[in-house]
C-alpha cells in the first residue's frame, strides 16, 4: 500500500525510551511509574487514569525536560533517520502524534526535519523559576481515544497510516487510519493482535516497503 500521510508515535517507536518513565527514574520513581505507563499502553487502564497521576508524582521541571529531550535523540531507534529522510524527500506529509510531553519531543522532531506544527503532543507548563506548573489537561492526547481525534482533525482524504507500539496507536483506526504495530522496542500482545500489520524488527526501516 502507498500512503500520502504518515503518522508516527514517538516513545518506544522513534526512540527507545518512554520519556515520562525516564523522568521518573531521574527522581527515583522509575519502577512505580513504568508500571503505570505499561499498563496504559497494554490497555489495562485508561490513559487519563494514569496521566495526571504520573506527572503529579514526578513534577518534571524545565531542566529535566531539556535533559529528556536530548535522551530522545541519543536513543533513536535504528533506521528512523533514514525513514524520515526518505519520506520527506518523496514529499510525504509526516506527523508525530504522541501522548508524551511536547517540549521534550520538539527538539527530536527538529532533528528529524519535522516542523513544530506537525508535532502533536501534550504541553507541559512551568513557573517563572522553571518548576513544574501542570500540563494541558484539555489535550486529547492525555486521554483515551485522543489519537483518533488528532488523526480525524488532520482533515485529509489522502490514505493515512499510523505507526506505533501501544494501544493508544490502535485508536487511529477509529478515524480510518491503517495501523502498523511496531514491536521492535516493546512487544505488546494487544498491538500484535489488532494492528493491520505488525513487526518486531529492531529497525524501523521495514516500514518503507509497507507505506511507499
Helices 30-41 + 47-58 axis angle, to 10: 160
- Taking the C-alpha atoms of residue 15 and residue 72, their distance in angstroms, rounded to an integer, is 6
What are the residue numbers of the active site?
9, 11
φ, ψ for residue 5, nearest 5 deg: -120, 120
Q: Cell triple for residue 175? A: 478515524
- Taking the C-alpha atoms of residue 60 and residue 22, their distance in angstroms, rounded to an integer, is 11
| Portion of the chain with pLDDT greater than 90, in percent | 86
CB 146 within 8 A of CB 172: no
For residue 122, list its beta bridge partners.
101
Return the pLDDT at 112.
Answer: 98
Structural domains of the chain, count: 1
Q: Cell triple for residue 161? A: 497510516
Query: Does position 38 have pLDDT exceeding 80, yes or no?
Result: yes
Query: Does position 1 have pLDDT exceeding 90, yes or no?
Result: no
Estimate to the nearest angstrom the gap between the alpha carbon of 182 and the chain centroid: 12
- Give the residue numbers spanning the domain of 198: 5-211
- CATH number assigned to the domain comprising residue 128: 3.40.50.1000
- Taking the C-alpha atoms of residue 9 and residue 95, their distance in angstroms, rounded to an integer, is 9
Confidence of residue 24 (pLDDT cuts 50, 70, 90): very high
Q: What is the mean pLDDT of the chain?
A: 95
- Taking the C-alpha atoms of residue 131 and residue 12, their distance in angstroms, rounded to an integer, is 27
Q: Convert 39-60 into a string of H (helix), E (strand) and C (coil).
A: HHHCCCCCHHHHHHHHHHHHCC
Query: Does position 54 have pLDDT exceeding 80, yes or no?
Result: yes
CB 15 within 8 A of CB 5: no
Transcribe 139-192 into DSSP letters: -GGGSTTHHHHHHHHT---S-EEEEESSHHHHGGGGGT-EEEEE-SS---HHHH
Return the pLDDT at 142.
Answer: 94
Return the pLDDT at 85.
Answer: 98
Return the pLDDT at 12.
Answer: 97
Q: For residue range 66-114, list pLDDT tens digits in order.
A: 999 999 999 999 999 999 999 999 999 999 999 999 999 999 999 999 9
| Mean pLDDT confidence for 152-168 | 91
Query: Does position 47 have pLDDT exceeding 90, yes or no?
Result: no
Return the pLDDT at 156.
Answer: 78
Q: Which residues contact 170 (CB under 8 A, 6 or more apart)?
A: 179, 181, 190, 191, 194, 195
Query: Does position 155 have pLDDT exceeding 80, yes or no?
Result: no
Q: Structure pTM?
A: 0.94
Nearest Cα to 104, choosing from 138, 143, 137, 75? 75
Return the pLDDT at 48.
Answer: 86
Amino acid at each position: 500500500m502507498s500512503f500520502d500521510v504518515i503518522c508516527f508515535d514517538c516513545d518506544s517507536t522513534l526512540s527507545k525510551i518512554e520519556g515520562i518513565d525516564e523522568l521518573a527514574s531521574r527522581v527515583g520513581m522509575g519502577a512505580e511509574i513504568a508500571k503505570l505507563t505499561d499498563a496504559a499502553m497494554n490497555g489495562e487502564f485508561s490513559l487519563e487514569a494514569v496521566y495526571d497521576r504520573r506527572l503529579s508524582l514526578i513534577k518534571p521541571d524545565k531542566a529535566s525536560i531539556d535533559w529528556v529531550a536530548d535522551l530522545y535523540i541519543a536513543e533513536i531507534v535504528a533506521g528512523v533517520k533514514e525513514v524520515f529522510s526518505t519520506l520527506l524527500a518523496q514529499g510525504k506529509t509526516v506527523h508525530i502524534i504522541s501522548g508524551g510531553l511536547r517540549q521534550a519531543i520538539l527538539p527530536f522532531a527538529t532533528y528529524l526535519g519535522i516542523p513544530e506544527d506537525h508535532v502533536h503532543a501534550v504541553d507541559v507548563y512551568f513557573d517563572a523559576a522553571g518548576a513544574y506548573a501542570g500540563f494541558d489537561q484539555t489535550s486529547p492526547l492525555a486521554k483515551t481515544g485522543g489519537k483518533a481525534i488528532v488523526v480525524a482533525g488532520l482533515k485529509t482524504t489522502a490514505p493515512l497510516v499510523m505507526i506505533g507500539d501501544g494501544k493508544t496507536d490502535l485508536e487511529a483506526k477509529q478515524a480510518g487510519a491503517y495501523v502498523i504495530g511496531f514491536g521492535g522496542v516493546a512487544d505488546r500482545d494487544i498491538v500484535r493482535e489488532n494492528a493491520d500489520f505488525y513487526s518486531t524488527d529492531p529497525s524501523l526501516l521495514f516500514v518503507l516497503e509497507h507505506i511507499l
